[in-house]
Chains A and B, each alone.
Chain A
Amino acid sequence: MNIKNKRWIRIRIYITGICFFLVFLLIFLRAYQLQILEGSQLSSLAKKSYTGKLTLTSQRGTIFDRNGKELALSIEVDSLYCYPKKIKDKKTAATLIARALDIDKRDVLKKLHSSRSFAWIKRKVTPEQLKKIRELNITGTGFIKESRRYYPCMETGAHVIGFASQDNRGLEGIELQYNWFLEGKETRFNRIHDALGRSLVFDGPRIEKQESFNLILTLDKDISYKAQKALRKAVSRSRARSGVCIVMRPQTGEILAMAVVPEFNPNIFWHSKPFEWRNRAITDCFEPGSTQKTFLLAGALEEGVISPETVLNCEKGEYAIGNFIIHDSRPYGMLKVSEIIKFSSNIGAIKIGQRLGAERFHYYLKRFGFGEQTGIDFPGERKGILRPIRNTSLIGKNTLCFGQGISVSPLQLAMAFGAIANGGHLMRPYLVKSIVDQKGKAIRNFYPFIRRDVISSETAKKVRGVLEGVVRKDGTAPKAEIKGYSVAGKTGTAQKVDPIKKIYSNTKFVAIFGGFTPSDSPALVILVALDEPKGIPYGGIVAAPVFSDVGYWTLNHLNVVPSFPPARWRAGQQDLSHPIERKEKIVALSPDLPGSIPNLKGLGVRDVLKKAKQLGLKVVVKGSGMVVEQVPEPGTPIEKDRLLTVIFRPPC
């Protein structure tokens, strides 16, 4: 190789080197530009293309009754939407959609012709409709998941629970009062997705987390159902305008049931009118009528101005106060205080009131919670009217004794009866027992709260004794009697004021019965009020049967043992008005030896339990139907604390 060639090779090497250098320099400069100068901007752009945020709307919380049964819950349903511009043959699409959804074709067509890019066709469709629309496969339509509220008990407890709107916002009742807890907030996640938009993983901490909470109410679904049913029947039978039935635990102030008629179904609340949504137990007020005499009696006994045995002159049914004459339903003469309450004498009540004094009576009415809100956790509570005593005329002071010139809500009245029932404590009523998170952990509990002590327990006991007389055969409310249980209560038949004539109407009344049972150890306070019953308007006739019906059922439901067996039961006689048909096959039994285990084969559970109770045996019941086997065998001598295992099988 000559020198010339060697030089040429070197030049070529240099040229190649320079080229490489320039290319690398270019790459370096580009890398510098991308990584250093525009690095942060480009990396954020890249991140945006594969990461995103997913927003999840939390489900509205569930509302349970006191036994954990669902009263309101939300589930996801599909809503049909469309992109009007993407639908080519709008007329055919509208016909098919309208047929599948069973709605007016013109409405659908109007939505498909909408100038907007997005339009709802029908929100919250049923699964059947969803299937039909999916089968149609119309381009430009689709479904979005939305939450829908359901109330499985329908009318039962509806006035307490209220309802939520389509957008899951509480509109009435507990749904409105506790909306903040039930609603929950949106939850946002960071996510990584692929080019097709499919989520890979939920990454990083949640940006915002606010789950909805569940509510546990004091209501009992079964008691509420019974109260609603009994009230519905009473309102229908008496052709009343409306009715209210409150069932409450006097020791705690827990509301077990709050039934209102007219009723509505919260699942389709838009089909009923707003006045039907109103919880009249809390928002409506009326004059308490003769039920007021209970609190007059309590005040007078507490002050010691009378005793149940004090005899007062009832003026043969006519008593003049100024220019007014007060009448009684019957011309009573001399009556004991207990009889005044039992027969509900207005003149007798005035005489008690005169002994107590108007100011002291007014003081006790205030102490019993009239003229102020009870503090229940429910929207729209009214406090009623209790005028200052200095602004009240002489006749007004006297008529106040039998419940005129004052306005109270059914709930106030129930709470005041509760104070008599529980020994003198005025409780705050409440509807929500606790607020729990989605895992069931309580974040807030509500406890019984004594607002104040109104009367002593001795006075309360005396009042209870007097009120027991009201439900006796010669009292004003024998229909309130509950077989096997002692009952104390008071009737009221309050005249309504004619809004035009501004005088008391002789045709419009509110029939009331308030009371508690068992009277010696009250487990329940029940208040029933019917507005404008037609025909006989007396509280003892139209409202008391509801008390008896609901009370009997509820006491059984709560396993409250009867205070005493009914008279017929005690005498061992059969109730001929309700003959019991025995369908079971009667099995001839061998005579039982005294002091030994009887032969129980062929008997039903009820008979076995009765027999075991008589013999003082403990029974283990297995299966249902009739006895097929028993351990120990019949004829075995009965030992102390003997356990009897009885196996039942359904009859063939």
Chain B
Amino acid sequence: MKKGRKGSVKLFHFFAIILFLLLLAGISHVWVSFERTHIGYSLSQLKKEIVQIEEYNRKLKLEIASLKSPERLENKAVKEFDLRYPLPKQIVFLP
């Protein structure tokens, strides 16, 4: 009778451990899924930011190119700073 009782306890422990492991696996799965979704959102957000930054970069490049256009620079140099093209004798060629 005692032997049968001991067997039942062991069986109970075995099922308890199995149940615990299953619970652990389930929680892990849910946690991993949650993390995956979370990282997915972050990645998506970062990709959007990259696209936005790239676009901003392109707009800045356009602005630089427009600001550096020879016509604008020449107008600024002549009208604002009163600069003139050098005469041949004013140019020094470095060896």
**Bound: A183/B51 CA distance, A:** 19
Q: Is chain A's binding surface mostly helix, strand, loop or mixed?
A: mixed
Proximity bits, B67-80, A CB within 8 Å = 1, else 0: 01111001000000
Question: Which of B71, B91, B95 has a CB less than 8 Å from the CB of A156?
Answer: B71
B90 at the interface (CB under 8 A from A): yes
B65 A569 Cβ-Cβ under 8 A: no
B58 A561 Cβ-Cβ under 8 A: no
A-contacting 9-mer, from B1-9, B10-18, B23-31, B38-46: B38-46
Question: Which of A70, A76, A201 has a CB less than 8 Å from the CB of B65?
Answer: A70
Considering the complex, give the chain B residue whose CB is closest to the CB of A59: B58
In the complex, what residues of B have CB within 8 A of residue A202's CB? 43-44, 47
Proximity bits, A249-291, B CB within 8 Å = 1, else 0: 0000000000000000000000000000000000000000000
In the complex, what residues of B have CB within 8 A of residue A75's CB? 55, 58-59, 62
Output the least CB separation between B67 and chain A (Å): 9
Contact A152 B71, CB 8 Å, known A76-B55, A566-B89: no
Contact A609 B62, CB 8 Å, known A75-B55, A156-B71, A569-B89: no
Q: Is chain B's binding surface mostly helix, strand, loop or mixed?
A: helix
A152 B55 Cβ-Cβ under 8 A: no
B93 A152 Cβ-Cβ under 8 A: no
**Bound: A578/B90 CA distance, A:** 11
In the complex, what residues of B have CB within 8 A of residue A580's CB? 87, 90
In the complex, what residues of A have CB within 8 A of residue B41's CB? 198, 200
Output the least CB separation between A455 and chain B (Å): 33
Contact A200 B37, CB 8 Å, known A73-B65, A156-B71: yes
In the complex, what residues of A have CB within 8 A of residue B47's CB? 202
A43 at the interface (CB under 8 A from B): no
**Bound: A431/B95 CA distance, A:** 32
**Bound: A205/B47 CA distance, A:** 16
The number of chain B residues touching the other chain, given as a range, is 20 to 34
**Bound: A154/B68 CA distance, A:** 12
Proximity bits, A221-253, B CB within 8 Å = 1, else 0: 110011000000000000000000000000000
A73 B62 Cβ-Cβ under 8 A: yes
In the complex, what residues of A have CB within 8 A of residue B58's CB? 59, 73-76
In the complex, what residues of A have CB within 8 A of residue B94's CB? 609
Output the least CB separation between B26 and chain A (Å): 20
**Bound: A75/B63 CA distance, A:** 11
A198 B44 Cβ-Cβ under 8 A: yes
Count of inter-chain pairs, beta carbons less than 8 A: 82
A379 at the interface (CB under 8 A from B): no
B62 A70 Cβ-Cβ under 8 A: yes
A613 B70 Cβ-Cβ under 8 A: no
B71 A569 Cβ-Cβ under 8 A: no
In the complex, what residues of B have CB within 8 A of residue A610's CB? 92
Proximity bits, B43-57, A CB within 8 Å = 1, else 0: 110010000000100
Output the least CB separation between A195 and chain B (Å): 12
B68 A69 Cβ-Cβ under 8 A: yes
Considering the complex, give the chain A residue whose CB is closest to the CB of B55: A76
B65 A69 Cβ-Cβ under 8 A: yes
A613 B89 Cβ-Cβ under 8 A: no
In the complex, what residues of B have CB within 8 A of residue A59's CB? 58
A465 at the interface (CB under 8 A from B): no
B44 A221 Cβ-Cβ under 8 A: no
Output the least CB separation between A617 and chain B (Å): 11
Considering the complex, give the chain A residue whose CB is closest to the CB of B88: A483
Contact A562 B44, CB 8 Å, known A150-B62, A484-B88, A575-B87: no
In the complex, what residues of B have CB within 8 A of residue A221's CB? 70
B92 A200 Cβ-Cβ under 8 A: no
In the complex, what residues of B have CB within 8 A of residue A153's CB? 65, 69-71
A222 B70 Cβ-Cβ under 8 A: yes
**Bound: A358/B79 CA distance, A:** 57
In the complex, what residues of A have CB within 8 A of residue B95's CB? 613
Question: Which of A76, A553, A578 has a CB less than 8 Å from the CB of B87?
Answer: A578
In the complex, what residues of A have CB within 8 A of residue B89's CB? 566, 568-569, 575
**Bound: A593/B71 CA distance, A:** 47
A156 B69 Cβ-Cβ under 8 A: yes
Within 8 A of B (CB), among A192-231: 192, 194, 198-202, 221-222, 225-226
A390 at the interface (CB under 8 A from B): no
Residue with the highest number of chain A CB atoms closer than 10 Å, among B39, B62, B87, B89:
B89
Known A73-B62, A153-B70, A606-B92; 5 more pairs at CB < 8 Å = A73-B58, A75-B58, A150-B66, A198-B41, A198-B44
Using a CB–CB distance below 8 Å, which chain B residues touch chain A? Answer: 37, 39-41, 43-44, 47, 55, 58-59, 61-62, 65-66, 68-71, 74, 85, 87-95
Which 5 A-B pairs have CB atoms at the shortest separation, nearest pair first?
A200-B40, A152-B65, A225-B70, A70-B65, A201-B40
